[in-house]
């Protein structure tokens, strides 16, 4: 087997790459001035089932709104509106 055979097997340059649509910040579209820490249903969309804050890559938020979102989630956690961890993890 030569090096030419190996490069062909790896999938040369003929493949078309799937291009994902860039996610747009939902807060910028709504022109939201503030992110309310009391809006639990909205905040839950940005928290995983284990209680972690989702990344910008997954949610599509811009840097400015991601920072404000993190502050709102942490504030809601501190006031016991959102859990710090998932219930399954807390039991053990």
Does residue 17 lie within any of the structural domains? no
Report how many domains make up the chain: 1
Range of the domain at 58: 26-88
The whole-model pTM stands at: 0.72
Q: Which residues of 30-44 are buried (b: 16+ CB within 10 A; e: fewer)?
A: eeeeebebeeeebbe
15 lies in some domain: no
Asked whether the beta carbons of 36 and 1 are under 8 A apart, the reply is no
Does residue 56 sit within a domain?
yes
Would residue 21 count as lying in a domain? no
Asked whether residue 31 is assigned to any structural domain, the reply reads: yes
Q: Specify if 53 maps to a domain.
A: yes
* Confidence (pLDDT) at 33: 87
Find, among 77, 90, 85, 86, the residue nearest to 40 by Cα.
77
What pLDDT shows up at residue 21?
75
Whether 39 maps to a domain, the answer reads: yes
In a domain, 5, yes or no: no
Domain containing residue 78: CATH number: 4.10.640.10
- Chunked mean pLDDT (size 10), the chain, 92 residues: 58 65 86 92 93 93 95 96 78 61
Q: Closest Cα partner for 34 from 64, 2, 56?
A: 64
């Amino acid at each position: 087997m030569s090096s030419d055979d190996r490069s062909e097997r790896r999938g040369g340059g003929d493949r078309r790459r799937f291009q994902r649509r860039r996610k747009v910040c939902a807060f910028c579209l709504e022109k939201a001035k503030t992110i309310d820490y009391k809006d639990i249903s909205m905040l839950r969309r940005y928290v995983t089932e284990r209680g972690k804050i989702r990344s910008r890559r997954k949610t599509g938020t811009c840097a400015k709104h991601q920072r404000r979102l993190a502050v709102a989630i942490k504030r809601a956690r501190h006031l016991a509106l959102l859990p710090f961890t998932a219930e399954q993890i807390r039991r053990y």
